[in-house]
Amino acid sequence: MTIGRLPITLLTGPAACGKNTIAHIYATQFSDRCAVIDTDLLRWMLRKPHLAPWPTDPADSPSQAQHRLGIKHACMLSKSFVAEGCDVIICDVVGDRLAQYYRELLTDHEFRVVLLLPTWEASLGRLYVRPPTITDDEAKLLY
């Protein structure tokens, strides 16, 4: 089953809320051509220094600058995939300020933000079944 062309879609929400799972389901079951951009993978391309972006960091901190760099690259990839006729889903954990940065970089494209917000217990349960990447305290900070 194919649905019509999507706007560039940013799936956001706390860690382990199902962003990649939902993106995969859409890409494999509802689209003929769909790119899923996981911004965690983009940010990990910068190995030294790799700084985790935490919402408590000041907007001008190096970690937030790296987060914005990941967003910039996600937007560049998105535009390239759209030019090739692909639907695009971006998976990222962002608040209002960084969602606005996506909007600024994608002003020439249709764009929407979809917030996934399961219960804290559901997110924690999903977090526990995957390899550990963040602590419970860090997950709570992102929730």
CATH number of the domain encompassing residue 26: 3.40.50.300
Domain with 24, as residue range(s), is 8-142
- pLDDT, tens digit, for every residue of 29-38? 999 999 999 9
Is 59 part of any domain? Answer: yes
Closest by CA position to 93, among listed 57, 67, 65, 131:
67
Per-residue pLDDT for 140 more than 80? no
Is 105 part of any domain? Answer: yes
Closest by CA position to 111, among listed 29, 5, 31, 3:
5
Sorted by sequence, the CB contacts under 8 Å of residue 23 that are 6+ apart come out as: 11, 36, 89, 91
Is 2 part of any domain? Answer: no
Exposed e or buried b per residue across 59-94, where buried means at least 16 C-beta atoms within 10 angstroms of its C-beta = eeeebbebbbebbebbbebbbebbeeebbbbbbbbb
Is 31 part of any domain? Answer: yes
- pLDDT, tens digit, for every residue of 47-81? 888 887 776 778 888 889 999 999 999 999 999 99
- pLDDT, tens digit, for every residue of 82-126? 999 999 999 999 989 999 999 999 999 999 999 999 888 888 778
Counted domains in the chain: 1
